[in-house]
Structure 1
Amino acid sequence: MTQAFLISTGAVALAEIGDKTQLLSLVLAARYRKPMPIILGVFAATLINHAGAGALGAWLGSMLTPTVMRWALAASFVGMGLWILVPDKLEDEEANTNRTHFGVFGTTVVTFFLAEMGDKTQIATVALAARFHDFFGVVAGTTLGMMIANVPAILLGDRFAHRLPTKLVHGIAAVMFVVLGAMALFGVGV
């Protein structure tokens, strides 16, 4: 579990820097200025979203033959590495935080959950769960990685976001995913 947890945490924390859900965290923090319900909402939405993604990945990992799994994982990790290099934009619909009847926590859960659907970190969670066959380690790691990237953005707002060398962080994350892909392809145990 330790290996899956640590790799999942690091991969998602790096991949989340500059991601649309991190941008959404900044929008929510600027709009509501109530960090605790936003942090708890991000945690709840991530845990629910990544549990579903982890379950899908674990199922895929058990259904595919080792050869098909090796090729699928190699392709997905390399694809993730390349996708990370594409800058994210937060669409107006995803940034719609006018769900005030849900309160700050509810609005955060709903908007963050929807923004995370089909996002890089959700796809990475599927691939990591399929690779490691460790649902709990991967979901705990990817959730922690999301919190590592989003909590400072929520607490420090725009001051924090503009000081990170986003291209460098994305480059490191991209290399990490490509290395994971190569290791999966060549059967090297991670």
Structure 2
Amino acid sequence: MEGFLVALVVSFGVIFVAELGDKSQLMALAFATRYRTMPILIGITVATALVHLASVALGHGLGATLPTGWISLLAGLAFIGFGAWTLRGDTLTEEEKRKAAKGGRSAVLAVGVAFFLAELGDKTMLATITLATQYGWFGTWVGSTVGMVAADALAIVVGRLLGRKLPERTIRYGAAALFAISGGWLLVEAVSQLS
């Protein structure tokens, strides 16, 4: 149970931070202008659960085949890369804004499909794969899914309260710093395991 809780807490924290200012969080804000909150959250939850289930399966498989020292080294470098990616920031293209505003027969389906496609290859998917190489797959899956949904729910609520304006620069720098710290910690761990 302790391993599950560690995986849950760590993956929740990492993915929550990774999602702040991410493209899919901006999509959640865009959907919030068109649909009610509950269908948006259901669509996000289903899409995230599916993408992150595939991510933890891939990460768990990699973790079972690679030595832990090398996994820590690769994970540390990946997290530093995620920090740089976060500093770069994400914006929605005009086409993505149109897709978010268009909608279809069902808000849940429209949101779910859009989020599923947006998350493929995104930094939160890659971070989930990385986490699953280090921690148990089930705790990582639950934590990463809940972390992402919580960050997107926060975006919807805060966006509505603040007129859809978030302090993007502060969020981006804070998230990048947390990734860099996590990456540095994993690199130190890797060096100690490989020496």
TM range, normalised to the smaller chain? Answer: 0.7 to 0.9
> Tell me, which stretches of 5 or more residues in structure 1 are unaligned?
none
User: Does the 8 A contact of 1:94 with 1:114 survive in 2?
Assistant: no
Aligned to 1:138: 140
Map Cα deviations across residues 69-127 of structure 1 (whole Å, 9 max, x no partner): 122112111111111111101134434143513x1111111001111111111111111
SS of equivalent residue, structure 2 residue 34: helix
Aligned to 2:117: 114
Shift of 1:184: 1.9
Aligned to 1:80: 82
Aligned to 2:28: 25
User: Does the 8 A contact of 1:11 with 1:173 survive in 2?
Assistant: no
1:10 aligns with 2:5: no
Shift of 1:169: 2.6
User: Does the 8 A contact of 1:14 with 1:170 survive in 2?
Assistant: no
User: Does the 8 A contact of 2:43 with 2:109 survive in 1?
Assistant: yes
CA-based RMSD:
2.0
Within-5 A mapping of 1:15-164: 15-32=18-35, 34-95=36-97, 96-97=99-100, 98-101=102-105, 103-132=106-135, 134-160=136-162, 161-162=164-165, 164=166
Pair 79,125 (structure 1): closer, same or farther in 2 beyond 3 Å: same
Distance (whole Å) between structure 1 residues aligned to residue 31 and residue 59 of structure 2: 30
Distance (whole Å) between structure 1 residues aligned to residue 20 and residue 52 of structure 2: 17
Distance (whole Å) between structure 1 residues aligned to residue 124 and residue 47 of structure 2: 13
Moved more, 152-161 or 120-129: 152-161
Task: Give me the TM-score of the superposition, normalised by structure 1.
Answer: 0.88
Q: Which has the larger share of helix?
A: 2
> Tell me, which stretches of 5 or more residues in structure 2 are unaligned?
none
User: Does the 8 A contact of 1:100 with 1:107 survive in 2?
Assistant: yes
User: Does the 8 A contact of 1:38 with 1:104 survive in 2?
Assistant: yes
